[in-house]
Structures are given as structure tokens and as C-alpha cells.
């Protein structure tokens, strides 16, 4: 174990006992305040800060794998890994067993992990400010490339009144204050309800977004929804290859999925990606089924409301084109293709509703293939998921005209927009 582990052991001695149960904690990662839309971090009986494991993957970018049979969470960051078992005080750091003074636990069906142990073990630094009840996590800088010559950094002008509010002085104008804080005049006016640019000395103004009251989440169409977006294939598995002999399905799937992720986040959803880069979901997967099961496990672990898998299609005829959308409505006959154990989606009615909502929008982008909307195919992720689940085939990469559309970022954005609209309609 690296020295950071020892630093952290010392650090926690100072932190113990400072925070009180029930107090609101603020978590800051690399200077950005983290929002917890549903499950909040809390201090447990051992005085340790527990955070939802979702936070670990989303905010810290660590990879999280959940193995339900073993009740084990494996969290990796680069070459470092931590394995936690629910209810156990032992964790494995890079293969070595260490004892913690608290255990990972389930709260309302969600896994919470002791953030200090996890982040410190994975080489992030962590600090607790008892005055502001703020936990600050700083991630390690990427490996330095040849050190550039140090350039003198200009001393930043200290932001008055902690940078969020400002008391108007004689001679100040809306213009001068906006300029001083590097904000838009329109923002200053709207944040403070200023009429006709009229401000008076002594007036306290909000001059930074941090000071704004948080928007009520319920304002947004997808607030409180947990959506798993599954970019098909990845890593060693390229998926289909386009008619140009070069374009890989995994690349198109990921591009559209990321646009969809942004779209859904903007509407208040919590979006969980089964992969965010050119990787597999489960780097240790022994076979395709393990890899697909990993994607299902992500949805289970995060208690997803819906699951959306994004793929691009291929057929031996270069003329075949159009979008398709699959869901799993009926248990399959064991002799069928894609049906090994006769499982069926846990919410076939919801899946059909979700599929229909998305299909009504999706089919407007490049049109429908002859198959179109299909509830009778038994793709693994659809039939193994317990929540409404669909698998989108954007279009045919084997068709040269359609491939060019699939590669085009503005068409990709249209796909992401239409899928989003379908999801919003589903939740209405």
C-alpha cells in the first residue's frame, strides 16, 4: 500500500467525532460541489462518511462492479482496486486484506461505501472541514508528461465576501459589478431581481451561482429518475463494422449514448452509464454472457427505473436500412435464438410502453426498417432486466448511405434528442 494510506489513517483520527449525525454534508470533488439527487451521504455510527456507490463511479470516475452473489463491490481506479463486501469490515486493497473500522452497507436497497477508505485507497486525497461540514476530495493529477517549464501564475484577485455575495458600494453599477465578478449582467439582474439596473449602496447581491438557492428538482421532467444508458459493445468487442470497412459500431453507440446522457441529465435524471469510454462493462468478463450480465447488474445495483441499450445494426444486404427497437414482452421458447434460460423481462407492460414511446420519436430520424418495433426478440439485456428495458438499433452500418448518417454528429444528436423525448413521454 502506498503512503497515502497511512496519511489517511492519521487524517481520520482528526476527523473522528467532528461531524454530527443528521447534519447536512457537502461533498466537493476537485473544487466542484456534488449534488446528490436522492440518497444523501450520511455519517454512520462509527463516525464515517458513507456515500452511495453511484457517487463513487459518477463523480470520481472510478469503475464500480457489483457482484450480487458475493455481495461484493469492486472499485477500480487505473491499476488500483478496492473490494468491499457488504456488512464486512475487511476490504482488499490491491489484493491485500485490510481492516476498516466500518463496513459497506445497504440503505434502502442502495449500496453505501465509506468514502474515506475508498478514495484514499485509490490515491485521492480527502479533507474534512468541520466548520462548513465539507468533505473535499482531490483526485490525483494524471501522470506528468515531461515537466513543462514553470510559468509564473498571476495572483488571483481575492473574491470579496467568499465570492458568492457582494455588498454594493457607492459608485457601483450593474455593469461594474458584473465585470468585477466575471458574470453576465443578465445573470446578475435575474439572480437578484434588479429592476431598471437600480441598485443601492448596502444592498447585498448574489454574484456567483453557488449562492443561488438550489433549483427544486421537481421542476425538471426527469427529476428523481434513474436511467441506465448502455452503449452496446466496447473495448475488445467492436460490434459490427461499417460498409466502409473502418467504422466500428462501439464508437457510434458510445457517441450517441453520451449525447443521450447529457440530454437526460439536463432534465434532472440520474444517468448511469454501463461504460463511458472504449471499454467493456466488466473487464474481467469470461465471455459475452458475463459482459451482458454486467450491464444488467449495473441496472439492478442502481435501482434503475429504465434501461436503454444503444446499438447500430448490420445485415448482409447493403440495401437494408432503418431503425429498429426491441423490447421483451413474452417469455421465450427455449429453442429460439437469443433464448437460453427462458427468462423474461420483469416488467413487460412497462417495457412495451417505454418501447412505444421511444419508437414514436426515434423512427423520425432515418425511418423504420421493415421490422420496426419488435417485442418478440429475446435479447439478453431486455429479458434479464427487471425494469422496463429497450434495445435501440439506430440504423444499418452495412448500408453506405445510412452509415454516413450514423457517423454524422448532427444526426447522432438527433437520435439522442428523439430518444430523450420518447423517455420524457414515457414518464409523463
Give residues in contact with Zn ion (CB under 5 A). 232, 239, 311
Alpha helices (H) in 222-275, listed in sequence order: 249-266
Residue position matching grid coordinates 442502495: 110
Nearest partner of 345 among 362, 363, 326, judged by Cα: 326
Interatomic CA distance for residues 93 and 300, integer angstroms: 25
Burial 224-244, CB ≥16 within 10 A → b, else e: ebbbbbbbbbbbeeebbebbe
Least separation in angstroms between CB 209 and Zn ion: 40
| CA–CA distances in Å: residue 129 to residues 17, 28, 104, 147, 394 | 12, 11, 23, 32, 48
Q: Which is nearer to Zn ion, 239 or 388 (CB)?
A: 239
Question: How far apart are the two ends of the chain, measured CA to CA in Å?
Answer: 50
Are 237 and 249 a contacting pair, CB within 8 Å?
Answer: no
Least separation in angstroms between CB 342 and Zn ion: 23
| DSSP element (H, E) containing 117 | helix 115-121
Q: Which is nearer to Zn ion, 116 or 311 (CB)?
A: 311
**Which residue has the CB atom at the shortest distance from Zn ion?**
311
Q: Which is nearer to Zn ion, 234 or 239 (CB)?
A: 239
Q: Which is nearer to Zn ion, 112 or 359 (CB)?
A: 359
Backbone angles phi, psi at 296, to 5 degrees: -70, -40
Backbone angles phi, psi at 122, to 5 degrees: -100, 25
Q: Which is nearer to Zn ion, 27 or 394 (CB)?
A: 394
Least separation in angstroms between CB 65 and Zn ion: 22
Other C-beta atoms closer than 10 Å to the C-beta of 21 total 9
Least separation in angstroms between CB 312 and Zn ion: 6
Q: Which is nearer to Zn ion, 232 or 268 (CB)?
A: 232
Q: Which is nearer to Zn ion, 128 or 359 (CB)?
A: 359
Give the angle 292-295-299 at the CA atoms, nearest 5°.
145
Backbone angles phi, psi at 243, to 5 degrees: -65, -15
Least separation in angstroms between CB 379 and Zn ion: 9
Least separation in angstroms between CB 239 and Zn ion: 4
Q: Which is nearer to Zn ion, 168 or 241 (CB)?
A: 241
Least separation in angstroms between CB 410 and Zn ion: 22
Identify the sign of the CA torsion 347, 350, 354, 355.
positive
The bridge status of strand 270-273 relative to strand 165-167 is unpaired
Least separation in angstroms between CB 311 and Zn ion: 4
Enter the C-alpha cell of residue 396.
444499418
Are 391 and 326 a contacting pair, CB within 8 Å?
Answer: yes
Least separation in angstroms between CB 155 and Zn ion: 53
Q: Which is nearer to Zn ion, 148 or 245 (CB)?
A: 245
Enter the C-alpha cell of residue 424.
420524457
Nearest partner of 66 among 109, 100, 36, 29, judged by Cα: 109
Q: Which is nearer to Zn ion, 116 or 407 (CB)?
A: 407
Residues with Cβ < 8 Å from 26, sequence gap 6 or more?
33, 132, 133, 134, 135
The bridge status of strand 270-273 relative to strand 226-231 is parallel
Q: Which is nearer to Zn ion, 207 or 392 (CB)?
A: 392
Least separation in angstroms between CB 248 and Zn ion: 10
Least separation in angstroms between CB 381 and Zn ion: 11
| DSSP element (H, E) containing 268 | none
Amino acid at each position: 500500500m502506498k503512503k497515502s494510506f497511512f496519511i489517511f489513517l492519521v487524517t481520520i483520527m482528526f476527523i473522528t467525532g467532528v461531524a454530527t449525525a443528521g447534519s447536512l454534508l457537502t461533498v466537493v470533488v476537485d473544487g466542484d460541489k456534488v449534488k446528490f439527487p436522492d440518497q444523501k451521504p450520511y455519517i454512520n455510527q462509527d463516525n464515517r462518511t458513507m456515500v452511495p456507490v453511484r457517487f463513487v463511479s459518477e463523480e470520481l470516475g472510478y469503475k464500480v462492479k457489483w457482484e450480487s452473489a458475493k455481495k461484493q463491490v469492486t472499485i477500480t481506479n487505473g491499476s488500483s482496486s478496492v473490494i468491499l463486501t457488504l456488512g464486512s469490515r475487511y476490504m482488499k486493497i490491491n489484493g491485500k486484506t485490510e481492516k476498516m473500522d466500518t463496513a459497506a452497507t445497504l440503505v434502502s436497497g442502495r449500496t453505501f461505501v465509506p468514502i474515506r477508505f475508498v478514495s484514499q485507497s485509490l490515491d485521492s486525497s480527502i479533507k474534512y472541514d468541520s466548520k462548513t461540514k465539507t468533505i473535499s476530495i482531490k483526485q490525483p493529477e494524471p501522470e506528468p508528461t515531461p515537466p513543462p517549464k514553470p510559468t509564473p501564475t498571476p495572483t488571483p484577485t481575492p473574491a470579496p465576501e467568499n465570492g458568492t455575495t457582494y455588498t454594493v458600494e457607492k459608485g457601483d453599477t450593474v455593469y461594474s459589478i458584473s465585470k468585477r465578478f466575471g458574470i453576465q449582467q443578465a445573470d446578475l439582474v435575474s439572480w437578484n431581481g434588479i429592476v431598471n439596473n437600480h441598485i443601492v449602496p448596502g444592498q447585498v447581491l448574489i454574484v456567483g451561482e453557488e449562492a443561488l438557492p438550489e433549483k427544486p428538482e421537481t421542476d425538471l421532467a426527469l427529476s428523481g429518475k434513474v436511467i441506465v444508458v448502455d452503449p452496446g459493445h466496447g473495448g475488445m468487442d467492436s460490434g459490427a463494422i461499417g460498409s466502409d470497412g473502418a467504422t466500428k459500431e462501439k464508437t457510434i453507440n458510445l457517441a450517441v449514448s453520451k449525447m443521450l446522457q447529457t440530454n437526460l441529465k439536463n432534465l434532472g435524471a440520474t444517468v448511469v452509464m454501463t461504460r463511458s469510454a472504449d471499454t467493456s462493462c466488466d473487464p474481467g468478463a469470461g465471455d459475452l454472457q458475463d459482459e451482458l450480465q454486467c450491464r444488467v447488474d449495473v441496472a439492478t445495483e442502481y435501482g434503475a427505473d429504465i434501461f436503454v441499450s444503444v446499438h447500430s445494426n448490420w445485415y448482409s444486404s447493403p440495401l437494408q436500412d432503418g431503425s429498429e427497437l426491441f423490447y421483451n414482452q413474452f417469455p421465450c421458447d427455449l429453442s429460439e435464438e437469443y433464448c437460453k434460460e427462458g427468462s423474461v423481462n420483469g416488467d413487460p407492460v412497462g417495457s412495451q410502453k417505454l418501447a412505444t414511446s421511444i419508437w414514436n420519436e426515434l423512427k423520425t430520424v432515418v425511418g423504420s426498417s421493415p421490422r420496426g418495433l419488435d417485442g418478440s426478440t429475446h435479447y439478453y439485456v431486455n429479458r434479464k432486466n427487471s425494469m422496463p428495458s429497450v434495445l435501440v438499433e439506430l440504423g444499418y452500418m452495412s448500408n453506405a448511405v445510412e452509415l454516413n448518417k450514423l457517423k454524422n454528429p448532427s444526426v447522432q444528436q438527433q437520435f439522442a434528442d428523439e430518444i430523450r423525448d420518447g423517455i420524457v413521454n414515457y414518464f409523463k
